[in-house]
Structure 1
Amino acid sequence: MNLDEKIEKAEEILKDKNIAIAFSGGADSTLVAYLAKKVSKKVLLITFNNEIMPTNFLSNTKKISNSLGLEHETINQNFLEVKKFTENKDNRCYLCRSMMYSAIKRIATEKGFKVIVDGTNISDLLEDRPGIMINYENNILSPLVNAGIEKDDVLEFLNKQKIEYSKSTTCLATRIKTGEEINAKKINRIKYAEDFIKSITKDDTVRVRDIFNTAQIELDNIEPILNKNTLELIQSELKAVNFEKITLDIGKTDPEKKEIVIYKPCKDEANKIMFENELPYKINIGKTCPNFEKLGKVKCSEKMGVAMLDIDGRNVTIFENGKIVARKVKDKEDAQNILIKVLPMIRRVI
């Protein structure tokens, strides 16, 4: 499908519904809100503020919701007061999303909205995001996933339509290494450091990671700070807020695009064309197989950690370790279309 066809499919999913949208003001939720404004009966944007978001997070959500002409509610809860969250264990993302979506669901229900929507896109399913399991557990609708809309599709559409969105919507807790305690001191100095560097670079896409008292700076464009005076100024400011060491990551803040499928030469002439991918998490075969039955004929072995799905004459094999192999497909586009149907049905190990 081309982008126009994907957008039409997303609109069809949203059409004539009363929906509440989990709204961060970022690219994904802004696209969903824009489409919902066009085709849904009634729309409510709900923003959850956990008190550890970037500066201007709330003002940006209000600004964007006003530009869209949509009703907007804000929920405030300080996650720094939640011990299980500040412990920053492997399940932090899952716990965070659980608390957020429980509150959003409560407000939506009180306001008479039965359908809750978020901006998860199909590319998100290729990343290690355990919080997405909350969507499945709470019947959260993700129209961008169901329409096969990727991250690049979202940005292309918003830029083409000149729709304003916020580029800084990720929780600052993501800057702290898993297992290291999250506290107000760390969050505040991360926020200060990012704001200071943004003021120099005039770029909203800045991340400062707190790694054992070292500030690791990540920028899409490092040129604005690559002179001795600017680097010394940044070092002075960040050491003033008790970072012991300052480093610069010369990579980009946004990772390279992850392909949904990758071509793999196939020695088996009967299968001819084969594509594969490897998800960065383990798959729960027992919970995945019942979902696959909605798509086609399934053979599963939890003992071997394998699920085999025949769908539209194609064969997809999913392994417990996260590997996915598509066989008997026509070409890359055909394999991608099949995987777009399969990915939302996969349940990961938490």
Structure 2
Amino acid sequence: MKMEKKVEEVKKVLENQKMIIAFSGGSDSTILAKIASQVKGEFLLITVDNGVMPKECINSARKIAEEIGLPHKVLKENFLEDPNFKENNPNRCFICKNKMYGELENIAKKENFPLIADGTNISDLLEDRPGLMVNYQKNIISPLVNAGITREDVLRYLKENKINYATSTTCMATRILTGEEITTKKINRISYAESLVKTLSKNDSVRVRDQKGIAQIEVINIDPLLNPNILKHLDAELKAVGFEKITLDIGSSQKVKKDLVVYKPCKDEKNKIMFETELPYKIDIKNTCRELESLGKLKCSDSMGIAMCEIEGQNVTVFKNGKIVARKVQNPDDAEKLLIKVLPRIRRIL
């Protein structure tokens, strides 16, 4: 489906609605807000300043919301006061998003907004994101997912339409190893380190990961940093704020595109076309089957860890280990359309 048609699908969801949009100013929430500004309806953009976001994130969100022309609020919280969040267990992202969207629910009730939406795109469903479970539990709608809009679609649309967005909106808690306590000291030194690296490298997208006191620097373009004087300066500055050792990741921090489906020829049946994808998490077959019921004829076995669904003559099989196989499809586009119907209904095991 062409991007123009996908955008029209998003507009249909947004048209004449009264809705809160979770807004970070990043690419996904920006494209959603921009499309919302083009239809009739009442929309409120809300940014949650949770105390662990990059310093420039909130100011960028304000500026971008003003450019789009929709009302915008910033809710200030301090998640570092929550022991469960600070513990930094594998479900930290779920805890964080649950708290953030809980704040949005409070505003929605007070100001009579019946719907809350976010900028989750279809590519996000291929990644290990426990926080997505919050969307399902709190009935947060994701118009980009329903329209089959990928991460590449978003970035291309923003570039072609010259729409500004923030490139650094990820929580700095993601820079700390899972299981290592999140502290104010660690967040502050990560914040300082990233600001310094941005200035020295001229990179908009920078990550400085705290690996048990070792600073691991990740940038899209490392060339500006490959200067002896700059490296000495970085080493001295980052050690001064508490890092024990400074390292530079020589690979690009840019995300590699992951195809929604991959062609897999059938060995026994040469004329059969099969496509598959593998999710990086285990699937809750029982709850996934409940979600798939409305799509077509269903056969499920929780004990065997498998769900099979016939949808308009096509077949999709979901396995507990995360594999999804599409059969009786004509080509990659046909397989992607089927997967776009199925992915939002997949329920993971937390």
Could you say which TM-score interval applies, normalised by the shorter chain?
over 0.9
CA distance in structure 2 between the aligned counterparts of 1:296 and 1:92, rounded to whole angstroms: 35
Q: Are residue 46 (structure 1) and residue 46 (structure 2) matched?
A: yes
The answer on whether the counterparts of 1:19 and 1:40 sit within 8 Å (CA) in structure 2 is no
- 2: CA distance between counterparts of 1:26 and 1:302? 38
Which residue in the other structure is 1:29 paired with? 29
CA shift, 1:3, in A, is 0.9
Classify the secondary structure of the residue corresponding to 1:47: strand
1:20-99 to 2 correspondence within 5 Å? 20-99=20-99
Which whole-Å CA distance do the structure 1 matches of 2:114 and 2:278 have between them?
Answer: 35
1:229-268 paired onto structure 2 within 5 Å: 229-268=229-268
Which aligned pairs between 1:156-305 and structure 2 lie closer than 5 A?
A: 156-269=156-269, 272-305=272-305
Tell me by how many angstroms 1:297 deviates. 0.7
Say whether the 8 Å CA contact 1:298–1:309 is kept in structure 2.
yes
Matched residue, 1:144: 144
Alignment partners' CA distance in 1, 2:333 and 2:287: 27
Q: What is the one-letter code of the residue matched to 1:220?
A: I
CA distance in structure 1 between the aligned counterparts of 2:307 and 2:110, rounded to whole angstroms: 41
Structure 2: which 5+ runs fail to align? Answer: none
Q: Secondary structure at the match of 2:131?
A: helix
Amino acid at match of 2:114: K
Q: Which amino acid aligns with 1:41?
A: G
Counterpart AA for 2:328: K
- Displacement after TM superposition at 1:301 (Å): 0.2
- What is the aligned partner in structure 1 of residue 3 from structure 2? 3
Rounded to whole Å, the distance in 1 between the matches of 2:284 and 2:193 is 40
SS at match of 1:39: coil
Q: Secondary structure of 1:19's partner?
A: strand
* Counterpart residue identity of residue 74, structure 2: T
Which stretches of structure 1, 4 residues or longer, exceed 3 Å deviation after superposition?
none
Shift in Å, 1:255: 2.2
Task: Quote the Cα distance in structure 2 between the aligned partners of 1:68 and 1:76.
Answer: 22
Q: 8 Å contact 1:18–1:40 — kept in the other structure?
A: no
Quote the offset at 1:31 in angstroms. Answer: 0.5
Task: Give the deviation of 1:271 after TM superposition.
Answer: 6.3
Aligned-partner SS, 1:170:
coil
Q: Does the CA contact (< 8 Å) of 1:210 and 1:216 recur in 2?
A: yes
Is 1:121 matched with 2:121?
A: yes
TM-score of the pair, normalised by structure 1 = 0.98
* SS in structure 2 of the partner of residue 237 of structure 1: helix
Structure 2 length normalisation: TM-score? 0.98
Shift of 1:270: 7.4
Mark the CA change 1:323 to 1:271 in structure 2 (over 3 Å): closer, same or farther.
farther
Any unmatched runs of 5+ in structure 1?
A: none
Q: Secondary structure at the match of 2:12?
A: helix
Counterpart of 1:323 in structure 2 is 323
Equivalent residue pairs, number: 350
CA RMSD of aligned residues (A): 1.0
Which AA in structure 2 matches 1:245?
K
Residue type at the aligned position of 1:146: N
* 1-structure distance, mates of 2:58, 2:93: 21
CA contact (8 A) 2:202 2:224 kept: no
Q: Using the TM superposition, give the Cα deviation of residue 105 of structure 1 relative to its aligned residue in structure 2, in angstroms.
A: 1.2
Seq. identity, %: 56
